[in-house]
């Protein structure tokens, strides 16, 4: 994050303030993207700063190796949820739960579906975002 402080955009401003706050011991160093978001929450950062942090995290995820992303989970706003009962397929009834979250880019959504029908316990995720689908 500190290496981004020279950028001439919102991520650069975030990185510059983050770096200065570490140097003045206002907060700890973030070792993971989630720790950065936690720190920003602790200092009551306004939504523009949080958006810049999410943008920086998404950029980093796009260029980093999978092994570097092991501890990274991008948390975004939950925007929908549903739970439907199903009669099942001979092993008894169950439910299908569907959760929608805002896509990290902010323009689409990420959908998580949990099929909790006996014998079919599937858990799927997919991105419903035209912008990210192109990339």
Across the beta sheet with 122-128, what order do the strands follow?
A: 78-86, 94-102, 109-115, 122-128
Q: According to the model, what pLDDT value does residue 14 have?
A: 79
Question: Using CA of residue 55, residue 135, residue 66, residue 73, what is the dihedral sign?
Answer: positive
- Of the candidates 107, 76, 118, 111, which has an alpha carbon nearest to the alpha carbon of residue 97? 111
pLDDT of 66 above 70:
no
Q: According to the model, what pLDDT value does residue 83 have?
A: 92
pLDDT of 33 above 80:
no
The string of pLDDT tens digits covering residues 71-111 is 656 667 778 889 999 887 777 888 889 998 888 777 888 89
Measured distance CA(30)–CA(45) in Å, rounded: 15
Q: Which residues contact 56 (CB under 8 A, 6 or more apart)?
A: 1, 4, 11, 14, 15
And the tokens for 5? 């402080």
Ordered DSSP codes for 84-106: EEE--SSS--EEEEEEEEE-TTS
Q: According to the model, what pLDDT value does residue 86 have?
A: 85
Q: Is 28 left (phi over 0), alpha (psi -120 to 50) or beta?
A: beta
Stretch 42-59: mean pLDDT, rounded? 78
pLDDT of 113 above 70:
yes
Stretch 47-68: mean pLDDT, rounded? 74
**What is the average pLDDT value for the chain, to the nearest integer?**
79
């Amino acid at each position: 994050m500190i290496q981004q402080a020279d950028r001439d955009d919102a991520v650069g401003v975030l990185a510059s303030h983050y770096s200065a706050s570490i140097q003045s011991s206002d907060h700890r160093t973030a070792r993971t993207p989630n720790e950065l978001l936690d720190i920003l929450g602790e200092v009551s950062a306004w939504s523009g700063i949080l958006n810049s942090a999410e943008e920086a995290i998404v950029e980093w995820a796009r260029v980093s190796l999978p092994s570097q992303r092991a501890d990274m989970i991008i948390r975004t706003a939950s925007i929908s949820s549903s739970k439907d009962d199903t009669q099942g397929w001979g092993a008894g009834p169950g439910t299908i739960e569907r959760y929608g979250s805002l896509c990290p880019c902010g323009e689409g959504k990420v959908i998580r579906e949990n099929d909790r029908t006996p014998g079919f316990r599937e858990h799927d995720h997919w991105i419903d975002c035209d912008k990210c689908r192109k990339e």
